[in-house]
Amino acid sequence: MPVVGVATTPVILTRAQVRMFMRDRADKNILLDDVQFTDDELNFAMDMAAESFNAVTPQTNILPQSMNKYVLLLGTVKFLLMSESFLQVRNQASYQDGEISPIGIDDKMAQYSQMAQSIKAEWDELVRGIKTQNNMESAYNRLGSGYRNVSRNNR
């Protein structure tokens, strides 16, 4: 019986892990009675998190599978929250009747945006540190000098 090898790409961060971090479960989403983000949206957010990481200088070409798991998680969640804040703004419609406070279905844009900004702050700090460290480590043992072969005892 021949052995057939199938190329696979390791997935470091799973959609279930992103959902667990965000508490995006049908039984926890009382108003939706479903998960908030589809699998396609989660996959797209992971790709965009990697693209965002790659866009930070010095520019790189790292795939999501090669990224630090925590940095990829933060970038994915940041993207999803920013995306949801756009949806909230577009669909915001509040209603007020008498002395009852305004009630809205999609009026959580400020909260989504605030959560995205707090995660973005941590993400920016981590990415900047990683990029700086990688840049410094890539220069180790590569910087040359014209004085490398000159010594004080050479006459």
Q: Which residues pair with 103 in a beta bridge?
A: 95
Give the span between the Cα atoms of 47 and 10, in whole angstroms.
14
Helix, strand or coil, per DSSP, at residue 82: helix
Instruction: Please give the model's pTM, rounded to 2 decimal places.
Output: 0.75
Band of the pLDDT at 120, cuts 50, 70, 90?
very high
Tell me the pLDDT tens digit for each residue of 56-113: 998 999 898 889 999 999 999 999 999 988 887 777 666 666 777 766 666 777 888 8
- Average of per-residue pLDDT across 124-132: 94
Predicted pLDDT at 147: 62
Tell me the pLDDT band of 45, cut-offs 50, 70 and 90. very high
Length of the chain: 155
Domain ranges for the chain, please list them.
Answer: 15-95+103-139
Per-residue pLDDT reduced to its tens digit, 5-33:
655 556 589 999 999 999 988 888 777 78
